Amino acid sequence: MLIVAPSPEAARALAERLGPRAQAFDRADPPLVAVPGPVDADIAAGHQVLADHAHPLSTFALHPQPHTVRLGSVTVGQDFAFIGGPCSVESEDQILRAARGVQAAGAHAVRGGAFKPRTGPYAFQGHGEVALEWLSATRRHTGLPVVTEVLTPEDVELVAEHADALQVGTRSMQNTALLKALGDIRRPVILKRGFGNRVEELLSAAEYILARGNPDVILCERGVRTGHGATRFCLDVSAVAWLKVESRLPVLVDPSHAAGRRDLVEPLALAAAAAGADGLLIETHPHPDQAWSDAEQAIDLDAFARLVDKTRRVLDALGRASGPQRAAGGTAS
């Protein structure tokens, strides 16, 4: 049972009254108290009670308006956001060149992994902390917000010092310790759907972050395993449409990991835009064939520019707004 409390203090007091089985989420908006099983009528009286609602904060249950998230020059959920960049940050020069290239094509943020969650231990694991420094330098030079993945709760503070949005990868979607740590910071989180998870479980993961007081969660569909596709993963366009109806959080789509090959990235991106996605996360590399990770699915800077252009035409045809054509410029060259 979930009880909506009028204030953080009221949530804490109510949880105290209900005893050890109750949990107060006093930083949630609105504050909540969760209790297994029924509560006495006198306690329930005077409160809004949501009987076993699994997703009170990520759906419209308590807030009638969709949530938007500011990321540099773009308001994700209101304007369509383009985020491009390499799978891994390989060098300071590589990430800066990628950032400049995607920015010239109209991207609103640059992505690049410093800590890489690779399937096997022999694959490149990322440069770690020094790559975070290169991402910060890239932001200073270009003015583009930076998106990068965080793998462990211990790294959340460090990554948040460098990133404008922290990505939770598909393999980490149910790492509840990580989700809780991300609920305690004030930075947007891009939460990717686990490739073997139901879309409702994606919302449950989002609730972990929202319940601890970080409202800025952006969902990301990146393809699921079906076992009968020719592609690396199957882009779940149904999930995108479902989330746009059922959830109040913005929804990005990453067609790169779904496709697993570069010639399929653009058609999947266009399908995502048509299905209602709020933005795209595209693996883009100045020299895709030389990429240290996910080379097969990386597109080059010209292909990124064409993809942005075609996506804008889809959005125009649907009467949807896309973000500013050029993101804010940087300070130095």
Site residues for Mn ion per CB under 5 A: 87, 294
Spatial distance between the Cα atoms of 261 and 256, rounded to a whole number of angstroms: 7
Number of residues in contact with ligand PEP, rule: CB under 6 A?
A: 10
Q: Which letter does DSSP use for residue 326 in this model?
A: S
Q: Which does 117 bind (CB under 5 to 8 A by kind): ligand PEP, Mn ion, none?
A: ligand PEP
- Helix, strand and coil in the chain, % to nearest 5: 40, 20, 45
Q: Which does 285 bind (CB under 5 to 8 A by kind): Mn ion, ligand PEP, none?
A: none
State the Cα angle at 89 between 77 and 279, rounded to 5°. Answer: 15
Interaction of residue 85 with ligand PEP, rule CB under 6 A: no
Nearer to ligand PEP, 116 or 312 (CB): 116
Spatial distance between the Cα atoms of 93 and 64, rounded to a whole number of angstroms: 45
Strands 165-168 and 146-149 come out as parallel
Nearer to ligand PEP, 63 or 171 (CB): 171
Q: Dihedral of CA 230/239/144/117: which sign?
A: negative
Q: Smallest gap, in angstroms, from Cβ of residue 167 to ligand PEP?
A: 6
Interaction of residue 170 with ligand PEP, rule CB under 6 A: yes
Residue facing ligand PEP at closest CB distance: 169
Distance of CA 205 to the CA centre of its chain: 11
Tell me if 330 sits within 8 A of 140, measured CB to CB. yes
Of the candidate residues 126, 169, 279, 286, the single one contacting ligand PEP (CB under 6 A): 169
Spatial distance between the Cα atoms of 146 and 135, rounded to a whole number of angstroms: 7
Tokens matching residue 65: 């308006």
Interaction of residue 192 with ligand PEP, rule CB under 6 A: yes
Tokens matching residue 229: 């596709």
DSSP one-letter string for 44-80: HTTSEEETT-S-TTTBSSS-SSPP-EEETTEEETTBB
Interaction of residue 215 with ligand PEP, rule CB under 6 A: no
Q: Smallest gap, in angstroms, from Cβ of residue 304 to Mn ion?
A: 15
Q: Smallest gap, in angstroms, from Cβ of residue 134 to ligand PEP?
A: 16
- Residue 317 half-sphere exposure, CB side, CA atoms within 13 Å? 11
Q: Smallest gap, in angstroms, from Cβ of residue 87 to Mn ion?
A: 3
Nearer to ligand PEP, 192 or 212 (CB): 192
Interaction of residue 175 with ligand PEP, rule CB under 6 A: no
Interaction of residue 117 with ligand PEP, rule CB under 6 A: yes
Q: Which does 100 bind (CB under 5 to 8 A by kind): ligand PEP, Mn ion, none?
A: none
Q: Smallest gap, in angstroms, from Cβ of residue 124 to Mn ion?
A: 11
Interaction of residue 148 with ligand PEP, rule CB under 6 A: no
Q: Smallest gap, in angstroms, from Cβ of residue 293 to Mn ion?
A: 6
Tokens matching residue 55: 């997703």
Spatial distance between the Cα atoms of 274 and 297, rounded to a whole number of angstroms: 21
Q: Smallest gap, in angstroms, from Cβ of residue 112 to ligand PEP?
A: 9
Q: Which does 193 bind (CB under 5 to 8 A by kind): ligand PEP, Mn ion, none?
A: none
State which amino acid sits at residue 225. R
Of the candidate residues 108, 244, 248, 257, the single one contacting ligand PEP (CB under 6 A): 257
Tokens matching residue 31: 């504050």
Interaction of residue 127 with ligand PEP, rule CB under 6 A: no
- In the complex, the residues that contact ligand PEP under the rule CB under 6 A are 87, 113, 117, 169-171, 192, 222, 254, 257
